[in-house]
Amino acid sequence: METTPGTRRTGHAGRHALAAGVVGVLVVLSGCGLVGAPASTDRASKSGITTRPAAPVISEEQAYERVIAQVLPSIVQINTSGGLGSGVVYDTDGHIVTNAHVVGKSKNFEVILATGGKPRKAKLVASYPLGDLAIIRVGDKSGLTPATFGDSTKLKVGQIVLAMGNPLGLSGSVTNGIVSALGRTVTEPQGEGSPGATITNAIQTSASINPGNSGGALTNLSGEVIGVPTLAAINPELGGGAAPGIGFAIPSSTAKDVAEQIIKNGKVTNTRRAALGVRVNTVVGPDGQPVGVGVAQVDPGSGAAKAGIKPGDIIISVNGKPTPTAATLSEVLAGLKPGAQARVELLHPDGRTDTVTVILGTLSGS
């Protein structure tokens, strides 16, 4: 998996005008801006075979209009004490999928449907900050239109996407782009209510990302949600501003898995992500540069404990990949599976270096 250097959460807009995530809609087009086969009429050939009329030709513009009309009613605006974000109606029971950094530390919210009407009260069901996902539930379930969540594993680079959400508080906004890359691993910056999530298998898109879009929907021309827009890349040359045309979304397959666990159990019981079983922090050298990840605590019975890793050790690399910071370690582990073996290079307090083999456990959930 590839990792991206600078990213910024795309959560709130409004009062605090915080960075926001992208929303998009996938559109598979064939031919020059046309979807569908050329029209034909019934006629009998010399062989006696009768052809049937083909499906009507749909222009690219008509395809966009159809998807927007289908998906937009499922997009909501979520107002919190700190600003606003977006969400996607998950079911008729009032559950809404959004980003953990959108809800932050709030427990109560106001939800406004894209179709209008008075704000509805909603409460937090559970938040999963490590994966930047959350489920809230509205009390008034009338008129809710659940979105259809598709299979993000079938995405292909080059598919056209539309971004739907509430950028800068402009409800029901739509932008377009393409799926630029798949399988990215991106790490969010830490902030209020967020420990700095590491998102695996992220979808990279060129659809515009603006504050307030986070938690919206990335969908395909079939009207299926295939991602939850979350991050915008940061361009250091622009003073830390968002890099145009580089945004990231959580795959729908991950969002569905997390949503089902939270709705059923009230929390994420299986993250499906690997863990060493340690509590760590970044160690900085005399020059102020990070040199490794210091082990502050080792969980009893964990893979790290069984491999002999102790507090005070510094993790230098995993499977040959340098881990100068805690965020880098998270990104490396995100590409591994629970139960797998990992070679962990250590720097001991006495100056010795050593490499041990750790059988990875499962990262704890919410």
CATH number at residue 96: 2.40.10.120
The answer to whether residue 19 scores a pLDDT higher than 50 is no
| CA gap 342, 219 in Å, rounded | 36
Tell me the pLDDT tens digit for each residue of 269-315: 999 999 999 999 999 988 989 999 999 999 999 999 999 999 999 99
**Within-domain flag for 299:** yes
Of 236, 266, 296, which closes a domain? 266
Q: CA 179, 182, 188, 194: dihedral to nearest 10 degrees?
A: 90
- Could you tell me what percent of the chain has a pLDDT over 90? 56
More confident residue, 26 or 220: 220
311 and 240 together in one domain: no
Q: Which amino acid, one-letter code, is at 334?
A: A
The answer to whether residue 347 scores a pLDDT higher than 90 is yes
Selection from 45-59, 86-100, 105-119 with the highest mean pLDDT: 86-100
The answer to whether residue 249 scores a pLDDT higher than 90 is yes
**Which of 132, 173, 208, 330 is an active site residue?**
132
More confident residue, 182 or 25: 182
242 and 289 together in one domain: no
The answer to whether residue 70 scores a pLDDT higher than 80 is yes
CATH number at residue 284: 2.30.42.10
**Within-domain flag for 44:** no
pTM: 0.79
**Within-domain flag for 331:** yes
| CA gap 190, 193 in Å, rounded | 8
Asked whether 366 and 258 are in contact (CB, 8 A), the reply is no
Tell me the pLDDT tens digit for each residue of 161-203: 888 988 777 777 888 899 999 999 888 776 665 557 888 899 9
**Within-domain flag for 347:** yes
List, as own/partner pairs, every contact residues 334-341 make where C-beta atoms lie below 8 angstroms and the sequence separation is at least 24, other chains included. Answer: 334/1, 334/185, 334/198, 334/200, 334/273, 334/274, 335/1, 335/185, 335/200, 336/274, 336/360, 337/274, 338/272, 338/273, 338/274, 338/275, 338/362, 338/363, 340/274
Tell me the pLDDT tens digit for each residue of 105-119: 999 999 999 888 899
Number of domains in the chain: 2
pLDDT on residue 221: 84
Average pLDDT over residues 19-23: 34
pLDDT on residue 27: 28
Average pLDDT over residues 75-95: 93
135 and 9 together in one domain: yes
**Lowest-pLDDT range of 55-69, 177-191, 236-250, 305-319:** 236-250
Based on the residue annotation, tell me whether 132 is a catalytic residue of this protein: yes
More confident residue, 13 or 135: 135
Tell me the pLDDT tens digit for each residue of 351-362: 999 999 999 999
**Within-domain flag for 48:** no
- Domain of residue 149 covers 1-31+57-266
**Which of 86, 171, 206, 214 is an active site residue?**
214
Average pLDDT over residues 210-232: 87
| CA gap 166, 252 in Å, rounded | 19
**Which of 95, 101, 206, 302 is an active site residue?**
101
**Within-domain flag for 39:** no
The answer to whether residue 97 scores a pLDDT higher than 80 is yes
pLDDT on residue 294: 95
- Average pLDDT across the chain, whole number: 83
The answer to whether residue 18 scores a pLDDT higher than 80 is no
Based on the residue annotation, tell me whether 40 is a catalytic residue of this protein: no
129 and 241 together in one domain: yes
Q: Which two tokens stand for residue 235?
A: 């361009």
The answer to whether residue 65 scores a pLDDT higher than 80 is yes
